[in-house]
Amino acid sequence: MTDITTPEIKAPAVPQTVFAVLIAISFCHLLNDMMQSLLPAIYPNLKTALHLDFAHIGLVTLTFQLTASLLQPMVGLYTDKRAVPYALPVATLSTFFGLLLLAHAHSYGVLLVAAALVGVGSSVFHPESSRVAHMAAGPRPGLAQSMFQTGGSIGGALGALGAAALVAEDGQRSVGWFAAAALLATVILWQVGRWYRSHGVARAHATTRARAREPLPRAVVFRAMAILLVLMFSKFIYLAAIGSYYTFYLIHKFGVSVPGAQLHLFVFLAASAVGIIAGGPLGDRFGRKHLIWFSILGTLPFALMLPYANLFWTSVLSVCVGLILSSAFAAIVVYGQELVPGKVGMISGLFFGLSFGLGGVGAAALGWLADQTSIGFVYDVCSFLPALGIFAAFLPDLHTGRRG
């Protein structure tokens, strides 16, 4: 008698993490953000060479921010509908030509075009590289986003250091040397594009099938997205207060020297980088909702104490703030991607664009407030922003964290 057995039906498996791809896009994120940090670094040179006033400089910044921020969700929305495997090398080529124009800009119009090209490169790079991180993540999407974002954080710091050294020596033309980094990124990302075309799309579909669940009601999704936007506002406005005005605060309140204040800022940025690295894996382990809640609301006691602390404890508290608050962003991005499955590019573009836009608008608004009152008053007001983290309690639990 023939033994007839019913084959076991198994849930589709999540593909394994591809660390080679994650390392490649993290390194290219480092190069990308290093190159973007050059534009504000040469503002003094451009102001003198092209006889600009501060209004002209502000328009350059606006041009860059508009192209780098507002285009990101639109790029993501388009590539959600139609895969573009080689969009990433095209993005770094845009940055390459923007840097070359920036190095040789002898008119204000050319300067604006250069700023726009660098911004367009950023607006394509961030949502698409976040999409590739999602494809390569396998069962560790939080870790993948953390690796990707850490590259950008390191790149911004290296760009500031490199620009300070080269621009001081060679001026505007020195920016052209950094165009070589754009070519290196283009070569690496061309190989990533080949992987994207051959394996990435299939992996993305397999991951989506493995994590399939009943879609949430539209009202729940809209409410959750609104809460995430409130949390983004809290996080990036507070970070703008630290990133843009921490040195002025230390000099004004404690009489710290400029190099000493910059050292304290570096300590804060280093703590933030550690927080970014840790945030993704912790979200994978304990659940992204819980990490988001802890990251925003958990910053509150340290933020409230900071305006009343002496210099030593101000430095200690700033490390606590940077470490805890920075752990949220990777979790927020991945939570948003899981909240709206199939819209990885749009969600990535929306959140990265908001991080650019909120930081810029926040810095300008806080600068105006400091002019009207004092830098100390700004820190008093901003210390209450993490209290908005209480809204994270109302996020739906997607049950994607791995416990045990």
Topology alike, domains 19-210 and 218-394: yes
Give the alpha-carbon dihedral of 68, 74, 75, 76, to 10 degrees: 110
80-125 pLDDT, tens digit each? 888 888 999 999 999 999 999 988 888 989 999 998 999 899 899 9
212 pLDDT exceeds 60? Answer: no
* 27-70 residue pLDDT tens: 999 999 888 877 776 776 777 788 877 678 778 877 887 888 77
| Residue partners of 211: CB distance under 8 A and separation at least 6 | 14, 338, 341, 400
Answer for the pair 339, 221: CB distance below 8 angstroms, yes or no.
yes
Domain 218-394 in CATH 1.10.287.90? The answer is: no
Tell me the residue type at 242.
I
pLDDT average, residue stretch 70-75: 86
Given a cut of 80, is residue 336 above it in pLDDT? yes
Average the pLDDT over 162-179 and give the result.
68
- What is the rounded distance in angstroms from the CA atom of residue 346 to the CA atom of residue 126? 11
pLDDT confidence band for 166 (50 / 70 / 90)? low
- Predicted confidence at residue 51, as pLDDT, reads 86
Confirm if 356 and 69 have CB atoms less than 8 A apart: yes
- What is the band of 4 on the pLDDT scale with cuts at 50, 70, 90? very low
pLDDT of residue 11: 45
Rounded Cα gap, residues 62 and 314, in angstroms: 33
Q: What is the pLDDT of residue 400?
A: 46
Average confidence (pLDDT) over 249-270: 83
pLDDT category at 183 given cuts 50, 70, 90 is very high
Judged against a pLDDT cut of 60, whether residue 263 lies above it is answered with: yes
CATH code, residues 19-210: 1.20.1250.20
Tokens for 200, please give them.
Answer: 């990435």
Q: Which two tokens stand for residue 79?
A: 């590539």
Maximum Cα interatomic distance, the chain, rounded to a whole number of Å: 95
Domain ranges of the chain: 19-210, 218-394
Find tokens 């005005």 and name the residue: 245
Q: What is the pLDDT of residue 298?
A: 93
Contacts of 308 (CB under 8 A, 6+ apart): none
- Among the residue ranges 11-20, 138-147, 185-194, 266-275, the one predicted with the least confidence is 11-20
The rounded distance, in Å, linking the Cα atoms of 330 and 280 is 6
Q: What is the pLDDT confidence band of residue 161, given thresholds at 50, 70 and 90?
A: low
Percent of the chain with pLDDT strictly greater than 90 = 30
Rounded mean pLDDT, 3-32: 73
User: What average pLDDT does the structure give for the chain?
Assistant: 83
Cα separation, 206 vs 9, in Å, equals 16
Helices (H), 82-107: 87-103
